[in-house]
Structure 1
Amino acid sequence: MKKPLQDFPPAPSSSFFARRALIAALAASPVLPSFAQFRVEVSGVGVTQLPIALAPFKGEDGSPQKISAIVQADLERSGQFRGVDASGQSLDETSRPDLSLWRQRTADSLVVGSVNRLADGRFDVRFRLWDVVRGQDLGGQSYTVPQADLRLAAHRIADYVYEKLTGEKGIFSTRIAYVTKGGTRFSLWVADADGENAQAALASPEPIISPRWSPTGTQLAYVSFESRKPVVYVHNVASGQRRLVANFKGNNSAPAWAPDGGTLAVTLSRDGGSQLFTIPSTGGEPRRLTQSASIDTEPTYSADGSSIYFVSDRGGAPQIYKMGANGGNPTRVTFSGTYNISPAISGDGRWLAYISRVGGGFKLHVMELATGNVQAITDTTADERPSFAPNSKLIVYATRLQGREALMTTTLDGKIKARLAGQAGDIREPDWGPFQKQ
């Protein structure tokens, strides 16, 4: 494969930022089918996890999807819940459960429900949530869905339960985007938040990098090398149509959406070195934000759109900086470590996630912006590209585990991790999409 052009030179002992490492890893790694199903493996113990029982849904043995198992996996992956044995019980949403039995099993809450196939081939999915401790019916919902949407129905049940019991909005019916390489082809995938139900949005013989969801969750910006140079596109996920946004002289890379969806921050080398610009998300003439002799790249907007965080080597090595959304004098944000890249800002504006080089490896770190306190939250050494869940409670990132590429989610304290693993080949560049409209 022809070596893609880059918008940054190599660092002294390794690639500069994650992009060159991404392409090198994709090119060199073993090829496995990229369409295989994922499985969720949850590890770790949180400080306070709510014990919840998910009784097998009545009729789900005849369903293509085991709804109760999907809901339980969602809730456990959040780090807020631990499952309680619910075997040997036959209940549905109309049942009045013996709550004393569930208290004996140490459950604080109970989910029951049913799945029925209708005459037209659709499925009727119903559930009810019980507060075992207080003996209260916390309500329920029903969904009539085609077979293809059974997993979505399960994720929405998990969202309901999560919000009722934690007061925070659930993220299980959201989507993630990521990139794989299979054979000589690169693919951009859109999948459920648990990695399942992946649909190919784009396939190319040349690398695809930096997918980023629009604020509405209807579009993806990404960088494609199909023109043998990095070019920025915006892709409509539903229709598959796309438009060219940035194809200027030199490299066009690292798109980031402004919260209003009308603007992208990008890295362009049209004037020589790699600098930050903004450009309308429909395309047009870019406006330069930075004026430096250094490499400025990997922009990301603050949650309120007032600031842009980015990576620059203006101090001699890559560090994360912050400036106003319209440019201005940047201030340095990261001081711990000598090589910090790939900033991501939580939706609540409280947290910065990034990758720091530690002893030759690359590890995910989280900074509390108000205090500047930093914590390394992984034991792995090949972490890449963190992205926050829209409720700011989880982070998805790519890494290497036991010699294989994998997507992981982690709580912000690193105590609960879930591996979205399967025979999907090289998995890179994850980005977590926004909340979906119901």
Structure 2
Amino acid sequence: MKPSKLFVAAIVWLLTVVHVRAAIEIEITKGLEDARPIAVVPFLIEGTVPATDVAMVVNSDMRRSGRFRPIPLADLPARPSTVEQVALEPWRKVGVEALVIGRVKALASGEYEVTFALVDVFADTKRQVLINGELIERQGNVLLSRTAIVPADGLRRYAHRIADLVYEALTGEKGAFSTKIAYVTVERGREWPYQLWVADWDGFNAFSLVKSKHPIMSPNWSPDGRQLAYVSFEGRRSNIVVQNVYTAERKVVSNFPGINGAPAWSPDGRKLAITLSKDGNPEIYVLDLETRALTRITRHWAIDTEPEWWPDGSGLVFTSDRGGSPQIYSYDFASGKTERLTFQGNYNASAKFSSIGEQMVLVHRVNGQFHIAVMDLQSRFITPLTETQLDESPSIAPNGSMVIYAAVSRGRRVLASVSTNGRFRAILHSKDGEIRAPAWSPFLN
């Protein structure tokens, strides 16, 4: 039986690129009406005004999370900068659940002292809170209070850290605002048309890690967030490269004849699952990065590709058309058995796990359209999340709350994001060039 033409066409589509702007602007298209109302008060500035507006970064992070709706600045009933200045009743009247306040003080060293607090508007009892590593008894409405000395060029990074702490305090889940994304851009006609970029999760502080005259594909982060594995076509053949994000040191780890593709790091960072066609047909292999030992996982006439590790490292999932159409299969290392996971619909591919392995996001075809969907691993039920078109290349945030992917919106090729409950959606616009293959980093702190 030959591989399906549809699956081959989909593989070709995965090699195509997506038009978006390089300077990313995020347009929220759904979800704020259901989000929790909070307030992020502009921080009091003492001395030299910094280039980074810390409170604005926190505000943007919380809004773009899809979980919170910061009220407009014009609706703030007051602008306190310390806990002592907070009168709770006006905030209760405008309906916010919590507020973030703070100040930024310029120091003679050129650094800044940043102080912030998170106040629960509806709590009055006393409680012990952790302040700079010390337990202190305060009014129970103070959920967080911290002070840090931050270099001027680190203010944006620290603002993301504040947002992480606020998000965790209000949801019980770790925030992912201090993470990064990697993506590939294509600008034809330039000396180096293909570039691999790394940026903050919101598109800021982008830098080009790799420039090439030949295509770059499938970036994938190492578990420690220090390296990227990707496919390069230098020398006019596919190679799998591992590159350090901070030193730019790189090495080719797989350059067998034929396809070398779809690298995926093991949870311990010691191995890569990859797709190779060196023996004639695309199959799944596991490569030990220290010993370079290669273990073949699949043996089938069908196309087996897009491996992804189970979060506990016990096995792999991958895409295969061995059943007649692209579906997700699971391979267990202990038993050596392969099991089909998806039965809903006739196209499911590009599976990615949430961090705790309760859900899996994938590309799912609905009424002839490719959408991002989530599958509950207990019930195996698949729920479409998106309404964009030709969705591909999903990558999930390390806290499992959001998915970034490539899509078509309003006739334009864009990046997009969606919450894993489907209640929040956003389009990520850029001004020129082409972009593809977004990859969300693990936690970096």
| TM score, norm. by length of structure 1 | 0.91
Which blocks of at least 5 consecutive residues in structure 1 are unaligned? Answer: 1-8
Q: Which residue of the partner structure matches residue 345 of structure 1?
A: 353
Which blocks of at least 5 consecutive residues in structure 2 are unaligned? Answer: 125-140
1:21 aligns with 2:13: yes
* 1:133-148 superposed matches below 5 A: 133-135=122-124, 136-148=141-153
- Which of 103, 112, 115 is matched with 2:92 structurally? 103
**Cα gap change, 1:119 to 1:424, in 2 (>3 Å):** farther
Q: Which residue of the partner structure matches residue 118 of structure 2?
A: 129
* 1:182-331 superposed matches below 5 A: 182-183=187-188, 184=190, 185-282=193-290, 284-325=292-333, 328-331=336-339
Q: Report the alpha carbon displacement of residue 327 of structure 1 after superposing the two structures with TM.
A: 7.6
Q: Report the alpha carbon displacement of residue 259 of structure 1 after superposing the two structures with TM.
A: 0.3
User: Could you tell me the percent identity over the aligned residues?
Assistant: 41
* 3-state DSSP of counterpart to 2:236: coil
Q: Report the alpha carbon displacement of residue 119 of structure 1 after superposing the two structures with TM.
A: 2.5
* 3-state DSSP of counterpart to 1:129: strand
1:436 aligns with 2:422: no
* 1:383-398 superposed matches below 5 A: 383-398=391-406
Q: Report the alpha carbon displacement of residue 242 of structure 1 after superposing the two structures with TM.
A: 0.8
Say whether the 8 Å CA contact 2:21–2:429 is kept in structure 1: no
Instruction: Summarize deviations over 1:386-411 as a string: whole Å, max 9, x none.
Output: 11111111111111222333222211
* 3-state DSSP of counterpart to 1:320: strand
Q: Report the alpha carbon displacement of residue 326 of structure 1 after superposing the two structures with TM.
A: 6.3
1:361 aligns with 2:369: yes
* 3-state DSSP of counterpart to 1:272: coil
1:427 aligns with 2:435: yes
Say whether the 8 Å CA contact 1:170–1:391 is kept in structure 2: yes
- Which of 17, 30, 41 is matched with 1:44 structurally? 30
1:55 aligns with 2:47: no
* 3-state DSSP of counterpart to 1:383: strand
Instruction: Summarize deviations over 1:114-152 as a string: whole Å, max 9, x none.
Output: 223333333332211101111411122233333332221
Alpha-carbon distance in 1 for matches of 2:153, 2:303? 46
Q: Which moved more, 1:87-96 or 1:230-239?
A: 87-96
Q: Report the alpha carbon displacement of residue 283 of structure 1 after superposing the two structures with TM.
A: 6.3
1:169 aligns with 2:177: no
Instruction: Summarize deviations over 1:27-75 as a string: whole Å, max 9, x none.
Output: xx6xx773x3x22222323685321101111129933122222112211
* 3-state DSSP of counterpart to 1:165: helix
Q: Which residue of the partner structure matches residue 378 of structure 1?
A: 386
Say whether the 8 Å CA contact 1:123–1:147 is kept in structure 2: yes
1:12 aligns with 2:5: yes
Say whether the 8 Å CA contact 1:194–1:420 is kept in structure 2: no
Alpha-carbon distance in 2 for matches of 1:260, 1:230? 25
**Cα gap change, 1:24 to 1:387, in 2 (>3 Å):** closer
1:73 aligns with 2:60: yes
Alpha-carbon distance in 2 for matches of 1:53, 1:377? 28
The one-letter amino acid paired with 1:287 is T
- Which of 102, 118, 143 is matched with 1:113 structurally? 102
Alpha-carbon distance in 2 for matches of 1:403, 1:145? 43
Alpha-carbon distance in 1 for matches of 2:184, 2:438? 7
Q: Which residue of the partner structure matches residue 4 of structure 1?
A: none
**Cα gap change, 1:260 to 1:419, in 2 (>3 Å):** same
Say whether the 8 Å CA contact 2:21–2:430 is kept in structure 1: no
Alpha-carbon distance in 2 for matches of 1:76, 1:54? 10
Aligned residues: 422
**Cα gap change, 1:424 to 1:152, in 2 (>3 Å):** farther
Say whether the 8 Å CA contact 1:289–1:327 is kept in structure 2: no
* 3-state DSSP of counterpart to 1:169: coil
Q: Which residue of the partner structure matches residue 161 of structure 2?
A: 156
Q: Report the alpha carbon displacement of residue 21 of structure 1 after superposing the two structures with TM.
A: 1.8
Q: Report the alpha carbon displacement of residue 169 of structure 1 after superposing the two structures with TM.
A: 0.7
Q: Which residue of the partner structure matches residue 135 of structure 2?
A: none
The one-letter amino acid paired with 1:49 is A
Alpha-carbon distance in 1 for matches of 2:215, 2:82? 49
* 3-state DSSP of counterpart to 1:197: coil
Alpha-carbon distance in 2 for matches of 1:85, 1:121? 31
| TM score, norm. by length of structure 2 | 0.89
* 3-state DSSP of counterpart to 2:204: coil
Alpha-carbon distance in 2 for matches of 1:283, 1:95? 60
Q: Report the alpha carbon displacement of residue 267 of structure 1 after superposing the two structures with TM.
A: 0.5
Alpha-carbon distance in 1 for matches of 2:215, 2:97? 48
Alpha-carbon distance in 2 for matches of 1:347, 1:78? 17
**Cα gap change, 1:102 to 1:119, in 2 (>3 Å):** same
Alpha-carbon distance in 1 for matches of 2:145, 2:92? 21
